Structure formats: C-alpha cells, structure tokens
Amino acid sequence: MQAKYPDDNFEAVIRKNATSGIYEFRIKCADCPGKHYTPGPGESLQNFEVHLKNRQHRSKVNARLHPQPSETS
C-alpha cells in the first residue's frame, strides 16, 4: 500500500477491543490524527484505501507536502 501511496503516512497498530478484549490490527493515519481504520474486507486493505482517496485526506497530505508560506507583517 505504501508503494501505491508514497506520500501518505500511515502505520499498522495493534489495539485491544474494548468490548471483547481481543487484540486487533488497525491502520493509523498520521495525516488525520485520531483516525484508526479496520483493515478489510477479509485480508484486504480496501477500507483504508477508501480513506486514502478521500478528499479531506488528500487535502491534508497536499498541505503537508506543499506548505503555504506564512505571511509576516
């Protein structure tokens, strides 16, 4: 997935499910703080790829890659 989206920052994390107590994989997006995504369906990453194509996410990645110069008085 990183090869397909080289400018995006994300990582796999393990989280404990609050209700079942089972540890599960989640994908954490560094460009969208607080966002953790469940992989799937099955063993695919389609759920997370939808996020990577999302307009808001793309905007955050572009802002990080191409910061606007701040105006100083």
pLDDT in tens, 39-52: 888 888 899 999 99
* DSSP annotation string for 13-61: EEEE-TTT--EEEEEEESSSTT-EE---STT--HHHHHHHH-HHHHHHH
Domain that holds residue 42: 10-65
To which residue do tokens 């400018």 refer?
7
* 7-47 tens-digit pLDDT: 999 999 999 988 999 999 999 999 998 889 988 888 888 99
Task: Say if 44 falls within a structural domain.
Answer: yes
pLDDT for 69 beyond 60 = yes
Task: Supply the pTM of this predicted model.
Answer: 0.80
What's the domain count of the chain?
Answer: 1
49 part of a folded domain? yes
Q: Are 34 and 19 in contact (CB under 8 A)?
A: no
